[in-house]
Amino acid sequence: MEYKETDCFKETFSELRKKLRSPKGKDRAGKAFAVLRNKLKEDHRYTSDKLETRKATDGNILYIFTIHVAYRVVGVIKRDSSKTIVWFWAGSHSDYKEGLDKPCRPWSS
């Protein structure tokens, strides 16, 4: 499985990495996300209690991964490209529950 990262994802994930940096400077968010990407590259059917998939009404599949208790990253596999996840958002669970920012959605042109 391949992946891409939108500019919005890069920006929001960078902020998330700063928030979750350990007192000793360890990049906890970066490490968790790297593990997920590697697992999905090895097996696109990878499952975890931290990874949730949802089929959207338009046929796209959302990947919601818990980076930390209160933070998520979200990607989408567009129905016309089943081999690439486009990671497009990272942030708090409360922001996710309120609704993702429309400009960050890669399919909302």
Average pLDDT of span 15-31: 88
* Its pTM surpasses 0.85: no
Residue type, 18: K
Residue type, 5: E
What proportion of the chain, given as a percentage, has pLDDT over 70? 86
Q: How far is CA 18 from CA 27, 38, 90, in A?
A: 8, 22, 12
Residue 8 included in any domain = yes
Residue 108 included in any domain = no
Confidence of residue 109 (pLDDT cuts 50, 70, 90): very low
User: d(Cα 75, Cα 84) in Å, to the nearest integer?
Assistant: 10
| Structure confidence by residue, pLDDT tens digits, 46-61 | 888 899 988 888 888 8
Residue 106 included in any domain = no
Q: What is the CA angle 101-80-100, rounded to 5?
A: 10
- Residue 10: what pLDDT? 92
Name, in order, each residue with C-beta under 8 angstroms of 95's C-beta and a sequence gap of 6 or more.
none
Q: How many domains does the chain fold into?
A: 1
Average pLDDT of span 64-70: 89
Average pLDDT of span 3-25: 88
Query: Which domain CATH number covers 18?
Result: 3.30.2310.20
